[in-house]
Amino acid sequence: MSRLAATILVATAANFVIMGAPAQAGSIVGVPQAATGMACSLHWHYITHGETGLNVRPDPTMWQGSTELRADAVPGTDYWNQQFLFCRDPAWAADTYAIHSNLTKYFWSGDGQILYAGAVDVTSRNQLFAVWRYDSTWWVIDSLAIANVFNPYVAPDRSLPQNNNRLTLTSGPLNGNHLFKISPANLMG
C-alpha cells in the first residue's frame, strides 16, 4: 500500500504516521531528513481567508488537470473538498508543516508563483510551509520553497478577476490579505 493510500484510509479514524526514509547522499540539498516519520493531524481542517471569508480548496475543475489552490469556496458548502491535514516530521523546524488536500489526495507545493495541491509526496522544500500564529485568531502561511531567502507569504491573487483568488506566493508588508483562520486551531489535533 502506498503512503498516500495509508493517509486516506487512516486519517479520519486516528492520528497516523507516514514512515519516511532518510535522505540519501547526494539528495536534494536543504530538505529536512525524516527521522522516524511524518505524522498528520487527527482531524481535517478548514483554512479560511481573512479578508474574504472564503475557504481554500483545490480548483474544483481539477478533473481537467488543474490542482491550483484557490480561496474561493463558501464555508459550509462542498465541505469535503475544503479539508486539509497538517503533517509534521519531528526533524523539521518548529512550525514547519506539509499540507495534505482531501480533494486531490496530494500535498501542497509551491515552487514558483502559484500554489498547487499536486505533490504526491514531500520530497523537497517546495512542499514545506511555515504556519504560525499572527495573534489568537489569525495564522500566516509562508512558503519554505527557497532556502535562505525571504519566505513569501501565501495569499489569494485578487489583482485581476481572471485570477479567481488562486493562492500565490507574495512578498511585501504583512496585511489582512495574508491572514487565515484555521479550524480547528490545533494544527495537529
Q: For the segment 157-179, what is each residue's pLDDT rounded down to a tens digit?
A: 878 777 778 899 888 788 889 99
- CA pair distance 153, 178, nearest whole angstrom: 6
Backbone phi, psi, residue 10, to 5°: -105, -15
Which CATH architecture best describes the domain 3-21+33-183?
Trefoil (2.80)
> Model confidence at 149, in pLDDT bands (50, 70, 90)?
low
Amino acid identity for residue 67 in this structure = T
Query: Looking at the DSSP assignment, which residues form a beta bridge with residue 119?
Result: 107
- CA pair distance 168, 180, nearest whole angstrom: 14
Query: What per-residue confidence (pLDDT) applies to 133?
Result: 96
More confidently predicted of 134 and 171: 134
Query: Looking at the DSSP assignment, which residues form a beta bridge with residue 116?
Result: 68, 109
CB 42 within 8 Å of CB 14: yes
- 98-120 confidence digits (pLDDT tens): 999 999 999 999 867 889 999 99
CB 188 within 8 Å of CB 166: no
- CA pair distance 74, 80, nearest whole angstrom: 12
Task: Pull the grid cell for residue 163.
Answer: 485570477
Q: Which helix (H) or strand (E) holds 7?
A: helix 3-10
The HSE-up count of residue 159 (CA atoms within 13 Å, CB side) is 5
Indicate the burial class of 123 (C-beta count within 10 angstroms; 0-12, 13-18, 19 or more): middle
